[in-house]
Structure 1
Amino acid sequence: MRLNWPLRMSANASRTYNDAVSALNSLQSNYANIMAIRASGDRKNQMNIWEMQEWSRRIGYETKDFNKLNIIHITGTKGKGSTAAFTLSLLQQYDDRIHRIGLYTSPHLKSVRERIQINGKPICEEKFSRYFFDVWDKLDNTSSSLEKFPHMTPGSKPGYFKYLTLLSFHVFVQEGCDSCIYEVGVGGEYDSTNIIEAPTACGVSLLGIDHTFMLGDTIEEIAWNKGGIFKNNVPAFSIASQPAAGLKVLQERARERHVELQQVPVFNEVKNLKLGLAGDFQVTNASLAVALASQYLAKLGILPSPLTLEQNLSLPQKFKDGLTTAEWKGRCQTIQEGDIKWLIDGAHTKDSIVAASGWFKSLVQKTQNKKILLFNQQTRDADALITTLRTCLSPSVNFDRVIFTTNVTWRSGEYSADLVSMNTSKEQVDKLEVQNALRETWLQLQPDAQVDVVANIETACDIVKAYEEPIEVFVTGSLHLVGGLLVVFDGKK
């Protein structure tokens, strides 16, 4: 999809949601630029934060203005989105005291509006468009010192994620949100969300190796980046089961900010609940959410004091209700469609593939139904991920068919507008290079396997739906794949 969006539009032009999405897509870094940055070894630095502060000034805010949002700030390699979902559900149980809760998260599945939610619902297209162009026009009509900010030339805009972060602050302030939950994009120290000055609580979910070209190659470097969200005298929490080397660095970073890092155990009562998010591993994320929500509610005077972080903690009934009713699509999600059971998880790191495979195995290993794997991962080490997946499932679960697809949505070669990605190699996608390499790897693992390589998600769905018997389909490897699949289910082009 070729995008040619003018840097300036007439303020009187009639600008729709599709216009906003098209303009937003024009802010994506293209594949060539990303590869150049990786090759240079240039990692995120303090200028990212200074620029975000300046962008905020240009749309009319000082960063201290965001303190009124009472933000809970969450980072981690795996589980930060699930932790945010549990935390949101917990706060929603107190809707008599908390009226408008904002959630900023990424990536989205079907619609970019999912990234900016109020009370658990994406903002509507009309509001997204209005607020989007509020920010766009204010940036067009203001300027920055090129001596201080050489990249902020007239007419320039923040990149895709930074723009959405900026937009989220604008939306939540204008909509009068009195509570917000922010999921970090990448890392923490230099992430665009880290202009938050005074959150109510900070949390770190499981650490692992990911985004190494930006965060570093070791768990210590990654922990240093994640611990960058800690703020002076703001309560900081981490799951207790962190890798030892990472936990040590998190503790050091907390001491730098004059706080003690509180380690959150898996609470016994959480283990005994049927959580709203499937997967045995979710007990860790749910426990972290309990700690964050309890600290937040005490800070606002809704609870008399934070809950004690002891394994045998007795949970208030509202906390139990929040944990059992939490929702987070695309993560250990089951969709029954006639005889087809779609078992969907957007796992895209080694740790998350291990967790998702364990969830899938627990559901299907005793059934006699045929099993299909639908997989794609376009930018990370896909070979390593499918090797891990195969190792986790073998020998008790084998696939009767394996389908490797791109993330292109439709048979026509088009992406759904909200799912356009410019940060992958178009040549690689068109030639199915990754998919063909995955086929060869799988055939080395299982020489007698039936393996298909297809150019789009719609075609992959057609293969699955041609079966006239009960089947179980494991869809994993990428949240982009999961989002595209859900769009195909909707059938809206």
Structure 2
Amino acid sequence: MIEEITRYLYAIPRFARTGGLEQTKERLRLLGSPEKSFHYIHVAGTNGKGSVCAYMESCLRNMGYKTGLFTSPHLIRINERIRIGNQEISDENFAEAFYKVKNLIDIQKEQGIAHPTFFEFIYLMAMTAFQKAGIEYGVIETGLGGRLDLTNAVEKPDITVITSIGLDHTAILGDTFEQIAAEKAGIIKAGVPLVYLDDRESVSKVIREKAGEAYPVKKEWIHMDSVKPGRLDFSLECPYFEKYDIMLNTNGIYQTENGALAVTAMEVLKKSLNWTLSEADFRKKIIEGLARMTWPGRMEAVAKDIYVDGAHNDDGIRELVRSVETIFPEKNIYLIFAVAEDKDYREMIHHLCGLKHLKGVMVTEIDNGRRRDFHEVMDIFKENWNGNIQGTYNVNEAIRAERSRKGKDGVLICTGSLYLVGHVKEILGGI
């Protein structure tokens, strides 16, 4: 049954002309307004929004609340997009949510109403599943942008969070930081507190102009204490609350910013929702929740000395390079790289070729209909680096070759696309 449902969903266009936000609001109403049955936490941004969502969900769950988590894309199974508690939605509950939404869509189809996009269908399923499960807090990641994103159909979330803003999806969102920031800032609502990463003044200015109650988080408030493979210790000192000492189980240095955003958002939520935990217990639950969370596909170890990272834009690759050089300062580095056709891969490659101790590159392709020919990508690598560059359309072959080339002492990094990450994890069994 799940295979049949998955085929149906994958056949739905990713982008199509629909009724937009108003149609989504109407569909939610006809489904019984499931999004109003729980506290709604809304997170937008270019990079890090999935991680912030996961950190916040883990903290809330550790406090004893029943949680739901809606993120995208998935790496291997479509069920990953909808999580209840610490588990992805079961096939049975996925199917139940699917048919509830499909029954509504079938009725609307007879009325001449356009079919929802793939993302809207999954979002409606998630809201339905969350209501049935009786969750208390739903942490919702936007799909694309914010202002017109279908997750923005909710009237008044409990809090909004905007993570790092970078240049991605420029054909849809705009080709400047300010234009993209304006789209992301579309999730800001009157009377709803906002937490955002204050890392580019031009971006922050756009956000401040739209925000009411706002809590910027500055990078200089984050102080790294120690870095070890698989573990980061840092402190967060800001004007809103007392200092936090935080440990994250990750190799991604960039996750400190996402952890800081999650902590700040939790502190703001505490103030607005009047939680009854003592201050000491609250802080303990937050610190434990952050430490327990591991988010797949972000500097994730999937085999000995093999890591996957879903960085797929300029800023993401910059942060990946920083993490690799910090965690593995003396190791020889080998890359497997693939990229979608709609990405600005030239800058990504330029930064990757600046990696210290880079010894080999294998370019391959993602198999999802949006792949960019590996020969084109190889040419750009050759313009930026005169080392050993190879290519193959076959990801299995890419892994075999680079695993052999890196030997016992090298580190292999697979990056450029979350679709590549999912494929590598599936091949290596890192599920």
TM-score scaled by structure 1?
Answer: 0.77
Q: Distance in 2 between matches of 1:403 and 1:94?
A: 44
Pick aligned residue for 2:7 from 15, 22, 30: 22
Structure 1 runs (4+) greater than 6 angstroms displaced? none
Unaligned runs of 5+ in 2: 224-234, 237-243
Write 1 or 2 for the structure with the bigger share of strand: 2
Deviation of the 1:314 alpha carbon: 12
Contact persistence 2:69–2:84 (CA under 8 A)? yes
Aligned 1:49-448 pairs, distance under 5 A: 49-58=21-30, 60-62=31-33, 65-95=34-64, 98=65, 100-142=66-108, 152-153=113-114, 157-241=115-199, 243-254=200-211, 259-265=212-218, 266=221, 269-270=235-236, 272-303=245-276, 316-337=283-304, 341-367=305-331, 370-379=332-341, 380-391=343-354, 393=355, 396-399=356-359, 401-408=360-367, 421-422=368-369, 424=370, 429=371, 434-447=373-386
CA distance in 1, matches of 2:176, 2:42: 23
Structure 1 distance, partners of 2:111, 2:268, is: 40
CA contact (8 A) 1:298 1:304 kept: no
Aligned counterparts of 1:464 and 1:94: Cα–Cα separation in 2: 43
Question: 1:51 is matched by which residue type in structure 2?
Answer: Q
Structure 1 runs not aligned, ≥5 long: 1-15, 38-43, 147-151, 308-312, 409-420
SS of residue matched to 1:226: helix
**Offset at 1:144?**
7.8
Asked if structure 2 preserves the Cα contact closer than 8 Å seen for 1:20 and 1:133, the reply is no
Q: Distance in 2 between matches of 1:184 and 1:130?
A: 23
Q: Distance in 2 between matches of 1:112 and 1:68?
A: 24
Shift of 1:298: 3.8
Helix, strand or coil: the match of 2:172?
helix
Rate the CA distance shift 1:143–1:19 in 2: closer, same or farther, 3 A: closer
Are the structure 2 counterparts of residues 200 and 442 from structure 1 closer, same or farther at C-alpha, using a change threshold of 3 Å? same
Partner amino acid for 1:49? L
In the TM superposition, residue 61 of structure 1 has moved relative to its aligned partner by 2.6
SS at match of 1:316: helix
Verify the 8 A CA contact 1:281 1:355 in the aligned structure 2: yes
Say which of 377, 381, 401 aligns to 1:463.
401
Amino acid at match of 1:61: G
**Inter-partner Cα distance in structure 2 for 1:384 and 1:263:** 28
- Are the counterparts in 1 of residues 192 and 213 from structure 2 also a CA contact under 8 Å? no
Q: Which amino acid aligns with 1:19?
A: E
Whether contact under 8 Å (1:343, 1:360) holds in the other structure is: no
Q: 1:454 deviation in Å? A: 1.1
Q: What is the rounded CA distance, in whole Å, between the counterparts of 2:207 and 2:306 in structure 1?
A: 38
Q: Report the CA distance shift for 1:318/1:406 in structure 2 as closer, same or farther (over 3 A).
A: same
**Shift in Å at residue 267 of structure 1?**
5.2
Distance 1:127 1:145 in 2: 28
- Three-state SS of the structure 1 residue aligned to 2:373 is helix
Indicate how the Cα distance of structure 1 residues 298 and 89 shifts in structure 2: closer, same or farther if over 3 A, else same. same
**Bigger relative contact order (CA 8 A; separation at least 6):** 1
Secondary structure of the structure 1 residue equivalent to 2:414: strand
User: Counterpart of 1:482?
Assistant: 421
1:324, CA displacement in angstroms?
1.7
Alpha-carbon deviation of 1:240?
2.8
SS in 1 for 2:140: strand
The answer to whether the Cα contact below 8 Å between 2:40 and 2:138 also exists between their aligned partners in 1 is: yes
Deviation at 1:375, TM superposition (A): 0.4
* Partner AA of 1:161 in structure 2: F
Which secondary structure state, in structure 2, belongs to the residue aligned with residue 274 of structure 1? strand
Deviations 1:258-291 (A, max 9, x none): x222212435534853312332222221111012
Q: Residue deviations 1:112-147, cap 9 Å, x none?
A: 11110011221112221222122112321345865x
SS at match of 2:303: strand
1:267/1:384 CA distance change after superposition, 3 Å: closer
Mapped partners of 2:94, 2:277: distance in 1: 37
Following superposition, the deviation at residue 177 of structure 1 comes to 0.9
Identity %: 26
Larger radius of gyration: 1
Between the two proteins, the alignment pairs up a number of residues equal to 409
What is the CA-CA distance between 1:491 and the residue it aligns to? 9.4
Judge conservation of contact 2:67–2:85 (CA < 8 Å) in 1.
Answer: yes
Q: 1:49 to 1:404 in 2, by over 3 A?
A: same
Whole-angstrom CA distance in 1 between matches of 2:311 and 2:191:
34
CA distance change for structure 1 residues 240 and 304 in 2, over 3 Å: closer, same or farther? farther
Are the structure 2 counterparts of residues 388 and 465 from structure 1 closer, same or farther at C-alpha, using a change threshold of 3 Å?
closer
Are the aligned partners of 1:109 and 1:479 in contact in 2 as well (CA < 8 Å)? yes
Is the contact made by 2:362 and 2:402 (CA closer than 8 Å) also made in structure 1? no
Task: Give the drift of 1:353.
Answer: 0.2
RMSD: 2.5
The 5 Å alignment of 1:8-47 reads 16-29=1-14, 47=19
Q: Match for 1:478: what amino acid?
A: S
SS at match of 1:277: coil
